Amino acid sequence: MGDIMDVLLTPTVVFCSVLTVLFLALVIVFRKFFYIVLVTSPRDIKGAVRYAQVLVWLWIEKLRNRNVGQVFDSIVAKYPNKVCFYFEDQQWTFRQVDDLTNRVANYFLKQGFRKGDSVALFMENRPEYVCMCLGLSKIGAIPALINYNLRLKPLQHSFEVADCKALIYGYELQEAVSEVSKEGGFTGTLLYCSGHKGNPLLEFSIDLDKGLKDVLGTPPLVKEPVGFNDKLYYIFTSGTTGLPKAAIIKHSRFFMAVYGGHYMHGLSHNDIQYTALPLYHTVGGVLGIGQALFFGTSSVLRKKFSASSFWKDCIKYEVTVAQYIGEICRYLICQPPTEFDRMHKVRLMYGNGLRAEIWEKFVDRFGIPHIGELYGSTEGNTNLVNIDGKVGAVGFLPVWGLRILPMVLVKVDETGEIVRDEKTGLCIRTKANEVGELLGKIVSRNPLRDFQGYADESAKQKKILRSVFRKGDKYFRSGDVLRMDDYGYFYFKDRTGDTFRWKGENVSTAEVESVISSMCGLKDAVVYGVEIPGSEGRAGMAAIADPEGNIDLSTLAEGLAKQLPAYARPLFVRILKQIDMTGTYKLRKLDLQKEGFDVHHITDNVYYYTGSKYIPLDTTLYQMIMSGQMRL
């Protein structure tokens, strides 16, 4: 007996026993945490494997110092006769795309354009759009992808903020170019017109179609090499204040987005992808066409989205993967059921903004095996992906790595301002199921973590938050408020009061406020987004102080139509005697946003924009909007 006790009391046995007890105690105390880690391990392992693939390829491309055009050249060599783009009744092979791309490069090289020169691209979706981008990038010129909905001041501003030396415009947008020219814009600018089909051009415009026929489709001979960390595009974002900002997209970021989308969503070169989104945005112009340029995936381009043609197109072109934004899904599910709803071969739809309320209905009705929801901004480093179809989630982070991963939610107050600890002055992490603004740690020259900013350096600095968790550290401010649940899934809550999203576009409230104030003299105007049942995003609403009752709503409607794209025009206008002053208006804006356009509780006059004019919003019209009878 004594011998047994001696063995049991040896230091090694005692030590192991203590460790066992401590381990069991930890398991009991943190049993919920260990349970969550166990339950989410299949998701996290799959995510880690796919993420590792992305990192490996980014590392390889960085070592090679390759640019987007060089990767495309390798794909052309591999699939010369394969269809690169389907467009209407056209089929463009990879060889044909390459030929026009090289002609664009050689033409503009001959015209004297060099590395670092920016060229505005103002065209609707078509294969030539991609060739213009690629061709310019091959010689190091930087295409500035301008939203084709812009007119007058926003259009001229976008051209100027990117310091463009020329404008390539599609003939279909000639009237918009002419309007700016008549107002004194584009003075001395080289204007190149594409796709005129023999129609007369604007005065001083250069016939680009003819010019491209007179040059060779051989690879351009450039003196200044273009590499992995050079600028590729300017993509415009509404941001949070003022007119559109030109976000810098480097070749490295294009690689990150395309490789990320490919591996995280499990895409294949055998897929046929449907892209009905505008190519001037990241989802269409990077994630969409990137699958063709980097992997040889055939892509279907459509000039503009059509709900009635969506599934017919998918059937016609034998589409297997389709892109979406939330508005597309809402439009599709609002269409009357047809025999085409399930005749397609679509195995995956990926994008952002699919609302939880319609997610399962959408999947069930159209028979979509997998939804790949994602979250991110054009310029930011806060990117999340939902790889397992969790309803409503925009992405996830492993719960075991929340303290060491470079993305974090921090506490905000009711106005959206970040809250700091009174003692340390540092930001405060949110707990599970608390809402907070998403921040991303900035790591220079890292394709995944860098924040490349905008053409305007001052705009870049406004998006950087310093001394977040330690003195001097730097984080990118997403401007978005999200919630993370116990299992590490993120859910979109809302943008701050500085922007709202409508018709698939981000709208800067400051920009709209500026336009209204300039039209209405010095009257105060506050713009915000309001929710409408059954609609994706928030519709614009303007509260205008007009104590004297002098506002001419007809003039206002006409002016807004001229200066703002359709998605940015306030759908509702509320006329008040005064707007309470609160410094930045944020608190008052929050109150107004909560009140919305409910005429049952608002005593001020409220107007609704329809038929190019504002009409009084009465209870009958209000009920029609709320019930979905009124098409917005």
Give me the DSSP letters along 320-375: SEEEEEHHHHHHHHHSPP-TTTTSS---EEEEE---HHHHHHHHHHHT-SEEEEEE
CATH code that applies to domain 399-494:
2.30.38.10
Give the strand pairing for 407-410 and 435-441.
antiparallel
Amino acid at 475: Y
* CATH level 2 (architecture), domain 52-304: 3-Layer(aba) Sandwich (3.40)
Which residue, among 129, 145, 137, has the nearest Cα to 97 in the 3D structure?
Answer: 129
d(CA 297, CA 583): 52
d(CA 357, CA 535): 11
- Whether the per-residue pLDDT at 19 is higher than 80: the answer is no
Q: For the full predicted model, state whether its pTM sits above 0.85.
A: yes
Give the strand pairing for 384-385 and 370-375.
antiparallel
- Whether the per-residue pLDDT at 165 is higher than 90: the answer is yes
Q: Which residues are paired to 39 by β-bridges?
A: none
pLDDT tens across 79-97, in order?
999 999 999 999 999 999 9
Report for 20-24, 133-137, 157-161: range of highest mean pLDDT: 133-137
Burial class (CB in 10 A: 0-12, 13-18, 19+), 266: middle
Give me the phi and psi of 440, to 5 degrees please: -125, 130
> What mean pLDDT is predicted for residues 293-315?
97
Within the chain, all domains assigned CATH 3.40.50.12780 are found at: 52-304
User: What is the model's pLDDT at position 485?
Assistant: 96
pLDDT tens across 574-617, in order?
999 887 655 455 667 888 988 999 999 999 999 999 989 999 99
- Whether the per-residue pLDDT at 494 is higher than 70: the answer is no
User: What is the model's pLDDT at position 240?
Assistant: 46
d(CA 167, CA 191): 5
SS3 of the chain: helix, strand, coil, percent, to 5: 35, 25, 40
> What mean pLDDT is predicted for residues 365-390?
94
CB contact at 8 A, 266 and 260: no
pLDDT tens across 97-130, in order?
999 999 999 999 999 999 999 999 999 999 999 9
Homologous superfamily of the 499-627 domain (CATH): ANL, C-terminal domain (3.30.300.30)
Within the chain, all domains assigned CATH 3.30.300.30 are found at: 499-627
CB contact at 8 A, 231 and 141: no
User: What is the model's pLDDT at position 458?
Assistant: 86
Computed over every residue of the chain, the mean pLDDT equals 91
Q: Cα dihedral sign for 108, 300, 90, 177?
A: negative
- Whether the per-residue pLDDT at 629 is higher than 80: the answer is yes
d(CA 459, CA 387): 33
The tokens of 89 are what?
């009744």
Q: For residue 203, name the pLDDT band (cuts at 50, 70, 90).
A: confident
- Whether the per-residue pLDDT at 137 is higher than 90: the answer is yes
d(CA 359, CA 75): 36
